[in-house]
Amino acid sequence: MAMTMSPDMVQVALPLPLMQCFTYRVPPAWQDAVQPGCRVLVPFGRRHLTGVVVPEAPPASLPDSLKPILDVLDDEPALTEELLQLTRWMADYYVCSWGEVIRAALPPGLEIESRRRLYPGQPPAEPLSERAAAVLRLVAAHPGITIRRLRQELGSTPYGLLHRLVRAGLLRLEEALEAPRVQIKKERHVRFAPAYRTPAAQEQLLHRLRGARQRALVAALQALQLEGVTEPPRATLLARAGAPPATLRRLVEQGILELVDKEVIRSPLEAEPPPAPSPITFHPEQQAALDRIAEAIDARRFETFLLHGVTGSGKTEVYIAALKRVRRQGRTGIILVPEIALTPQTVQRFRAHFGDEVAVLHSRMSEGERYDTWRQLRTGRYPIVIGPRSAVLAPLENLGLIVVDEEHERSYKQFDPAPRYHARDVAVYRAYLNNAVCVLGSATPSLESYLNARRGKYTLLEMQRRAPTVGRTPARLPQVRLIDLRHTRLANGNPLAPPLVRAIAHRLERGEQVILLQNRRGFAPVLECTACGWSPHCPHCSVTLTYHKVPHQLRCHYCGYATRHPNTCPQCSAATLEPLGTGTQRVEEALQTLFPEARVLRMDLDTTRGRRAHHHLLSRFARGEADILLGTQMVAKGLDFPRVTLVGVVNADTGLLLPDFRADEHTFQLLMQVAGRAGRADRPGEVLLQTRNPDHRVFRYLLRHDYVALALELLAERQQLGYPPYTRLAVVECSGPEETRVQELARSWAERFHHLQQQTPGGHLIEVLGPTPALHERLKGRYRYHVLLKAPRRSDAPALQPLLRRTLESFPSLPRSYRLTLDIDPAGLS
């Protein structure tokens, strides 16, 4: 990218949903420091914002007085030229502001001011101005003071002054990193102080203490002692005593109790050092795939591969081998996985091969952890990164390989906030910018990728057989059978049909494990009055409330609204409210009744809220501490448990009923993926699907494990109906508190688009549908209307993006609390 900046003016991208960049003056002091990719602090209206200098020329006509930048926050650009190029492309493609994309590429907590700390430097040699002397005095009194604090104390101190002092060596400026991530995880425990360790002293204490909570806490600690726990974890004790942390603090302050830090033994999936990988010999399909990829790597050529391999065919081994090749060239790699918490085994396998070259990014990291990791990636400390979609923007240089594992997964598409990007598509473009190789892997590729492969835009690599497990014949794909619920009478509320119950019983007898999928959480998705037909709805969303038995509540799965389960129908006062349909809690209850001895783990959003909850559940299952893992689609991901020989799907029709043109594709992908969890080792696997639509084509192809036949059938249909991948879609959503206003906005947006379209050659080829109310017309108290745009992918049709951008730019600003969002290549139309 050519550097077109003049030294006294720069263009700055700000993290705002405004389509343009802004021009700022560069004071002489910083003219040599400011480079494209550097973060700068600028005034914007009455605020100060952190933006990034971008390599663009200022517009021809400028106002007479430009505001100056206040500070340059980086010595080295935070964004490399390559990431500037990539983010620029994303802003264009996804029709959002460059600054919004840049914000997604940088770690959160951009208010870097709070991280910059000042320390005293050398003593001044010459007399200073009053202001400068005041700054030095304050820093001497508070070494490590943040710039923000200093400005608060002294009124606004110009950044220029601070920088002059830093440059003269009178102050030291450090960007404080959070304490390095602790290797050993510690937890607070509580015990009695030495004076109170005898029963007699404790009895006296109980008499002396006046606060009821303090007494409860001491009594709880005593009780735990009797159970043999002399130093319980703080949280355990507080829970047992039902006391708030303040009570404990008071007892510690009085010298009655003590706190001790103890090391926590982490779950084995993470703590265990990864076993040294045993060398494997690639089977022929694997070797052929690797050879093709390796050739492109060696040639340092951009190429995208679609690695279509059945579950267990050894795709991960191919990624690893390709990455080794790239590392030998000294280049770096990004591995994208759908959700890191659900794929601990994949991470471990990369760690086993690449050791501490691997950095892991995940969604539950604290801001500090993310910031640290980002800095270390930026400085080249880690040449490999594994993470979810945002890792595609990791600041690695010299990229040789980007892998997108399970490329069909919807979690690669960001929904909110902007940029609403698809990490797979960004990965392909980023590989192109770097002359790198992109490998998309899946057992059930998205139709988008599959069509690209068939048309030769991607190179198709196929692996149709499972890999041989060491010393044995290849594991076979599991046998899939349907249970036709139309001909099975289920006992009152029991969601499991006899053949599935028998199959589970059989596994339990043999000490094997079972995975059950029910893709709905709660007890029952609907509560209905059998007398009058009333059902409870969310007051903020146009959806029914889900009944949760534990705790006894009705909850909205869209906005989190919760209310008590009514005893009688509010409409007719009958006491006949009946839970309809099945959620994971109901299946759990049925399992407990049918198999009281079985150990069941439930894994859904409700049981995995804690930071390490996924880990705990999965590692307990891995250790054989449970027989049945029951859950939503979380249980379908890349898990590899050799003792699982049965996979049951309680309601295989759930996804088919959604009004979405991708319903069949997604259902097939989910069912294939969960089926792939069965029989991965030497014991054969079985998959049982309960359905009311046994003749549905999704099941027909599933029984034969025939992805290709289904894909071809679906592609033909999409072509006929004008859906992706043959067209490009965009959804414009208007939302706000008043329905008529929302509808009006959507209509006027569509009209404006239509107007521009008519002036554009070929514009008539773009279809404008709507506005129509969204599937969930009201969510979180906001009405939603959609305008759907459909553009054929032909050379005589204009691109959607420039038209969308122009429509947005010419649209008047929205009334408060109304919103207009744009989603290119939407993941669904809900």
Q: Smallest gap, in angstroms, from Cβ of residue 799 to ligand ADP?
A: 36
Site string for ligand ADP, 222-261 (x = CB under 6 A): ----------------------------------------
Q: Is position 557 an interface residue for Zn ion (rule: CB under 5 A)?
A: no
Q: Is position 581 an interface residue for ligand ADP (rule: CB under 6 A)?
A: no
Residue nearest to ligand ADP (CB): 314
The length of the chain in residues reads: 830
Q: Which residues line the annotated binding site for Zn(2+)? A: 529, 532, 538, 541, 556, 559, 569, 572
Q: Given candidates 17, 468, 493, 737, which one binds ligand ADP under the rule CB under 6 A?
A: 468
Following DSSP, what letter does each residue of 746-782 receive, concatenated? HHHHHHHHHHHHHTSTTGGGSEEEEEEEEEEEEETTE
Query: What is the dihedral angle through the alpha carbons of 351, 353, 357, 362, rounded to the nearest 10 degrees?
Result: -30
Partner that binds at residue 311, options Zn ion, ligand ADP, none, CB closer than 5 to 8 Å by kind: ligand ADP
For the segment 622-641, give every residue that binds ligand ADP (CB under 6 A).
Answer: 640
Q: Is position 343 an interface residue for ligand ADP (rule: CB under 6 A)?
A: no
Q: Is position 286 an interface residue for ligand ADP (rule: CB under 6 A)?
A: yes
Q: Smallest gap, in angstroms, from Cβ of residue 521 to Zn ion?
A: 15
- Residue number with CB closer to Zn ion (366 or 571): 571
What are the beta bridge partners of residue 71? Answer: 41
Q: Is position 534 an interface residue for Zn ion (rule: CB under 5 A)?
A: yes
In which element (H, E) is residue 167 found?
helix 159-167
Q: Smallest gap, in angstroms, from Cβ of residue 531 to Zn ion?
A: 5
Q: Is position 532 an interface residue for Zn ion (rule: CB under 5 A)?
A: yes
- Residue number with CB closer to Zn ion (518 or 544): 544
Q: Is position 280 an interface residue for ligand ADP (rule: CB under 6 A)?
A: yes
Q: Is position 687 an interface residue for Zn ion (rule: CB under 5 A)?
A: no
Q: Is position 528 an interface residue for ligand ADP (rule: CB under 6 A)?
A: no
Q: Is position 290 an interface residue for ligand ADP (rule: CB under 6 A)?
A: no
**Nearest CA among 261, 253, 221, 226 for reference residue 239:** 221
Partner that binds at residue 558, options Zn ion, ligand ADP, none, CB closer than 5 to 8 Å by kind: Zn ion
Q: Residue 119: left if φ>0, alpha if ψ -120 to 50, beta else—which one?
A: beta
Partner that binds at residue 323, options ligand ADP, Zn ion, none, CB closer than 5 to 8 Å by kind: none
What are the beta bridge partners of residue 10? Answer: 24
Following DSSP, what letter does each residue of 642-702 receive, concatenated? TTEEEEEES-TTGGGGSS-TTHHHHHHHHHHHHHTTSS-SSS--EEEEEES-TT-HHHHHH
Task: Judge contact between 694 and 747, C-beta under 8 A.
Answer: no
**Nearest CA among 469, 406, 441, 471 for reference residue 684:** 469
- Does the CA dihedral 131-132-137-143 come out positive or negative? positive
Q: Is position 673 an interface residue for ligand ADP (rule: CB under 6 A)?
A: no
- Residue number with CB closer to Zn ion (241 or 569): 569
Partner that binds at residue 309, options Zn ion, ligand ADP, none, CB closer than 5 to 8 Å by kind: ligand ADP
DSSP, collapsed to helix, strand or coil, labels residue 537 as strand
Burial of 811 by CB count in 10 Å (0-12 exposed, 13-18 middle, 19+ buried)?
Answer: middle
Q: Which residues contact 756 (CB under 8 A, 6 or more apart)?
A: 763, 803, 806, 807, 810
Tell me 273's DSSP state.
Answer: P
Q: Is position 288 an interface residue for ligand ADP (rule: CB under 6 A)?
A: no
Residue entry with tokens 């396998």: 349
Q: Is position 805 an interface residue for Zn ion (rule: CB under 5 A)?
A: no
Taking each helix axis from N to C end, the angle separating 344-354 and 613-622, rounded to the nearest 10 degrees, works out to 80
Q: How many CB atoms lie within 10 A of CB 425?
A: 20
Q: Smallest gap, in angstroms, from Cβ of residue 346 to ligand ADP?
A: 8
- Residue number with CB closer to ligand ADP (438 or 467): 467
Task: Judge contact between 651 and 525, C-beta under 8 A.
Answer: no
Query: Which amino acid makes up residue 595?
Result: F
Partner that binds at residue 541, options ligand ADP, Zn ion, none, CB closer than 5 to 8 Å by kind: Zn ion
Q: Given candidates 151, 185, 213, 283, which one binds ligand ADP under the rule CB under 6 A?
A: 283
Q: Is position 446 an interface residue for ligand ADP (rule: CB under 6 A)?
A: no
Q: Which residues contact 717 (CB under 8 A, 6 or more apart)?
A: 723
Rounded-to-integer distance, Cα 628 and Cα 626, Å: 6
Q: Is position 257 an interface residue for Zn ion (rule: CB under 5 A)?
A: no
Q: Is position 527 an interface residue for Zn ion (rule: CB under 5 A)?
A: no
- Residue number with CB closer to Zn ion (527 or 710): 527
Applying CB under 6 A, the span of 33-41, 281-289, 329-337, 363-371 interacting with ligand ADP comes to 281-289
Query: What is the dihedral angle through the alpha carbons of 292, 298, 302, 305, rounded to the nearest 10 degrees?
Result: 20
Q: Is position 677 an interface residue for ligand ADP (rule: CB under 6 A)?
A: no
Applying CB under 5 A, the span of 26-34, 345-353, 568-576, 731-739 interacting with Zn ion comes to 568-576
Partner that binds at residue 569, options ligand ADP, Zn ion, none, CB closer than 5 to 8 Å by kind: Zn ion
Q: Smallest gap, in angstroms, from Cβ of residue 634 to Zn ion?
A: 22
Q: Is position 572 an interface residue for Zn ion (rule: CB under 5 A)?
A: yes
What are the beta bridge partners of residue 823? Answer: 731
Q: Is position 470 an interface residue for ligand ADP (rule: CB under 6 A)?
A: yes
Query: Which amino acid makes up residue 404?
Result: V
- Residue number with CB closer to ligand ADP (18 or 280): 280
Quote the tokens at residue 120.
Answer: 């005293």
Q: Is position 545 an interface residue for Zn ion (rule: CB under 5 A)?
A: no
Q: Given candidates 447, 556, 678, 824, which one binds Zn ion under the rule CB under 5 A?
A: 556
Quote the tokens at residue 643.
Answer: 């003792």
For the segment 302-321, give every residue that binds ligand ADP (CB under 6 A).
Answer: 309, 311-317
Q: Where are the beta strands (DSSP E) in 518-576?
A: 526-529, 546-548, 553-555, 562-564
Task: Judge contact between 546 and 582, C-beta under 8 A.
Answer: no
- Does the CA dihedral 539-541-542-545 come out positive or negative? negative
Q: Is position 478 an interface residue for ligand ADP (rule: CB under 6 A)?
A: no
Partner that binds at residue 758, options ligand ADP, Zn ion, none, CB closer than 5 to 8 Å by kind: none
In the complex, which residues of this chain contact Zn ion (CB under 5 A)? 529, 531-532, 534, 538, 540-541, 556, 558-559, 561, 569, 571-572, 574
In the complex, which residues of this chain contact ligand ADP (CB under 6 A)? 280-283, 286, 309, 311-317, 467-470, 640
